[in-house]
Structure 1
Amino acid sequence: MNKPKQQDDRMAKVAALRAEQVRRDRRRRLVIVAAVGVVILALVGTTTAVILGARTEQAAVEAAAEQPIPDVEETTDLSANHVDAAIAPSALPPLGGDHDPVWQNCGTYDEPVPSANAVHSLEHGVVWVTYRPDLPEDEVAMLREIVEGKSYALLSPYPGLAAPVVLTAWGVQLELDDVDDERIPTFLTKYLQGEQSPEPGASCSGGNGTPT
């Protein structure tokens, strides 16, 4: 074989190898793009499902809040005078009545708060979530998560509480055995700044206490 023929054959082989490499690179890019597309679609699908699930759950809570909540105790014609006397301890938080002139700042507390100040907060449309001091920490964490971001919620331990968890708004109260009770979000939706409040929208900061 003469030299020009050898050079032509070598160039042809090099060209064929380059063409095959180009095809391989193209196939690799297509596989990568397809894989990324599958991942993106999966993420979008998961995110959409989560959003739709959250919306469905919230809609169910709002619908439940339009109906009477089972086992809620109601008291009417509560006095609302500002007095300097403390409220005597009891097995359940007071759900209204005469109270301290200064309200309790909303938020989460690791120690009990004065009932006389908390009742003033109820007057402003607050829901006071109380729990037994010996409630397991993981369950207390669940309550913190439930009230987080709710500007008119107050969470604190309550010594001698009659039930593991008690929800109180002005004139209404609910005793619960479990922190995962589905009535908790319903109660909050119904009574936070609810029409039962004598002074809904009044301040829940600038008063007594420093939340955690």
Structure 2
Amino acid sequence: MSKRAKQATDRAVLVNAMRTEQKRQERRRTALVTAVVVVLVLVLGGVTAAVLVRQQARNSELAAAASAPIAGVTEYPNLARDHVVGAVTYPQTPPVGGDHAETLTNCGVYTTPVKNEQAVHSLEHGAVWVTYSPDLPADQVAILAGVVGKNSYGLLSPFPGLSSPVVASAWGLQLTMSSASDPRLPAFVAKYANGPQTPEPGAACSGGVGAS
């Protein structure tokens, strides 16, 4: 074999060797990338699954809390629902339903009393009206605001002359409490805010008067 032919053969062997090595490295990179992608998919899938499991558990807890009976709730059935003009005398303090004003009180957190007749209209739309004695300590009021304020059907206001420090009312239902920390309060709000007792379910608790 001539020297030139031998050099050509050596170059061909070298080129083939280089190509073989390049392909091997490409296969390694592909395998590495594939492995990384698989690991990321598994990790993300595991995180997503864990989040979904926790969310499902939380939803189950909320559903169970919403369906469970709440001790101490008094029921007032067969309430009137007419729109009237002027003041109404209610048998409950605060009222839990009955004839009411044509305009409702917008749901929200209030630091001054609201009109009974307008708040009762809010109850008709599914509001839970939480009232408290005006001399309730500020930290207790803050607890109430935290529970009520995050619900679009929550209404909070002071109410002079309450027989208990805190009273929660929904249409035809009422719960008296001695403390804002009573665990029945969030359960009452969760169960009855636009709940099954609502005469006009789905109606908005807005578009009326007042601003939180």
- TM-score, normalised to structure 2's length? 0.68
CA drift at 1:49: 0.5
- Does the residue aligned with 2:149 lie in a helix, a strand or coil? helix
Q: Return the offset for 1:94.
A: 3.0
Number of residues of Structure 1 aligned to a counterpart in Structure 2: 197
Q: Mapping of 1:63-82 within 5 angstroms?
A: 63-64=67-68, 67=69, 69-75=70-76, 82=84
Matching of residues 44-123 of structure 1 within 5 Å: 44-64=48-68, 67=69, 69-75=70-76, 82-85=84-87, 93-96=94-97, 99=100, 101-112=101-112, 113-123=114-124
Secondary structure of 1:156's partner? strand
- Does 199-208 or 5-14 show the bigger shift? 199-208
Identity across the alignment (%): 26
**5 Å matches for 1:63-212?**
63-64=67-68, 67=69, 69-75=70-76, 82-85=84-87, 93-96=94-97, 99=100, 101-112=101-112, 113-131=114-132, 134=138, 135=140, 137=142, 140-145=145-150, 147-148=151-152, 153-158=153-158, 162-163=164-165, 165-176=166-177, 177-178=179-180, 181-182=183-184, 184-186=186-188, 188-190=190-192, 192=194, 194-195=196-197, 199-201=199-201, 204-210=205-211, 212=212
Segments of 5+ residues of structure 2 without an aligned counterpart are none
Indicate the residue corresponding to 1:41 in structure 2: 45
Paired residue secondary structure (1:71): coil
- Taking a change above 3 Å as real, the CA distance of residues 76 and 28 of structure 1, as seen in their structure-2 partners, is closer
Residues in 1 aligned to 2:193 and 2:7: alpha-carbon distance in whole angstroms: 96
Instruction: Give RMSD over aligned pairs.
Output: 3.8
Quick one: which of 28, 33, 55 aligns to 1:29? Answer: 33
Say if 1:139 and 1:187 are closer, same or farther in 2 by CA, change over 3 A.
closer
Gaps in structure 1 of 5+ consecutive residues: none
When residues 206 and 133 of structure 1 are mapped into structure 2, their CA distance, relative to the original with a 3 A threshold, is farther
Contact kept? 2:125, 2:194, Cα under 8 Å: no
Q: Normalising by structure 1, what TM-score?
A: 0.68
Distance 1:119 1:104, change over 3 A: same
What is the deviation of 1:166? 2.9
TM superposition shift of 1:4: 3.0
Superposed CA deviations along residues 94-136 of structure 1, whole A, max 9, x for unmatched, are: 334665x234234213433223321233345432133557236
Query: Secondary structure of the residue that 1:31 maps to in structure 2?
Result: helix
Larger Rg over CA atoms: 2
